[in-house]
Amino acid sequence: MHPNALIDHAATLIARVLTFSHPADATVAKYFRDNRALGPRERATISETAYKVVRLKARFEYLARSGPGARERKLAILGFHGSREFIASSLTQPEAAWLAICDATSDDDFLDMHVHNLPQWMVDPLKAQVGDAFMALAHALNTPATLDIRVNALKAKRESVQKALQAKSMRSALTPYSPMGLRVEGNPSLLKFAGFEAGKFEVQDEGSQLLASLVGAKRGEMVTDFCAGAGGKTLAIGADMRSTGRLYAFDTSAHRLEALKPRLARSGLSNVQTAAISNERDERVKRLTFKMDRVLVDAPCSGTGTLRRNPDLKWRIKPQELDELVLLQKAILDSAAKMVKPGGRLVYATCSLLQAENEDVAQAFTAANDDFEVLPVAQVLVNVLSKEDGLDVEAVAAGMCQGDFLRLWPHVHATDGFFAAIWIRKQLD
């Protein structure tokens, strides 16, 4: 396709995405459904251009105030996913001159807001948490995520999957922390890969893999994934259980649970029972009071730890929504905790970077529930982390935690941002 046509498509898509009326991935998917003639390479170029504009929206919109032509076309040119040489023939002389000036700018030429590309309501709390590392964090959040996969231990070994990928000219490396993860170079499509169709692996961020491992699920246990969603962590937990015992996957979205079914079929798991619940107080939840060995609460949250994958979230979320989220997180955690039997484990997790959704919620729960005691996450991590390459697991585990809680940061650990807290329900006297 001629580069000018690609720019036009990208400009049209950018205009739709920047309304933020729907999640960016849904808007992109609909655009490609409406333009089925576009091939895989064209789709990749157009979508990656749109996502880059969303990531660097503050900077690009500032630059687009100058220069000739429509705003969306200028944004598409600035964020174009490809070489400048490729689009050069499609630019007018004024556009080319303007673009050369834009490309010659550096961070020193911009205000901080144009460098970090984050809304101010996020900037202040993040600066308070990471201090001088804030710009490094912002850069990591504005960098596309790596492609991580989790090997399904029920069906394959990590080394065999790596060799199979290599046979298809896909290079990968062992994830440094997760013993079942591979980091695949580039962004190849894996959906038609034989190993994927056979259920030998799932796409899952390394941090998410570690979080699922914190549940510590064993053979024959009763376990609940309370906010299962599409089931990525459910699948990992089920593999840890070797498809024995019973694993409940609860969620208020029947649609998301429906999407889990083909993944379950591929995985080979037979111990998962899915259930769409009306809310955290659903009767099906109450019937399991004091019966669960382990409960994971992967709570609904702002998703600020996933901006590498979902850059539009930072522009769609309103700060006033956080208060509602925190109330929901506390309610879900309180309800899920009732399912944990004496001696059982409760894990609270988010993919948020914000203290209000993390430490504050965990500390409030601890203060209000003296029948639960905190289990320092580092104590669990040492038995979870990969032993490859002589990793000092105690030092690494300590570096992943702040106090008793897990804190994974994109700029430090090259994962999505995750938080986790663990409690044990005290044994009855």
The residues carrying an active-site annotation are: 351
- CA-to-CA separations, 331 to 201, 286, 297, in angstroms, rounded: 34, 14, 11
Residue 408 phi/psi, 5-degree rounding, is -100, 130
Q: Are 283 and 259 in contact (CB under 8 A)?
A: no
Cα 147 from Cα 202, distance rounded (Å): 11
Instruction: Assess contact for 199 and 155: CB atoms under 8 A.
Output: yes
Q: How would you classify the pairing of strands 246-251 and 272-276?
A: parallel
* Helices (runs of H) and strands (runs of E) counted in the chain: 22, 13
The CB density around residue 340, as the number of other CB atoms within 10 Å, is: 25
Q: Which residues contact 22 (CB under 8 A, 6 or more apart)?
A: none
Burial label, 158 (beta-carbon count in 10 A; 0-12, 13-18, 19+): buried
- Tokens 């046979």 sit on residue: 167
Rounded to 5°, the CA angle 365-369-375 comes to 70
Q: For 91, list phi and psi in degrees, rounded to 5.
A: -95, 140
Query: Which residue, among 326, 414, 401, has the nearest Cα to 362 in the 3D structure?
Result: 326
**Amino acid letter at 394?**
E
Q: Which amino acid does the sequence have at 307?
A: L
The CB density around residue 379, as the number of other CB atoms within 10 Å, is 13
Beta carbons of 250 and 299 less than 8 angstroms apart: no
The interaxial angle of helices 3-17 and 71-78, nearest 10 deg, is 110
C-beta separation of 172 from 179 below 8 A: no
In angstroms, the first-to-last Cα distance of the chain is 73
The whole-angstrom separation of Cα 65 and Cα 211 is: 43
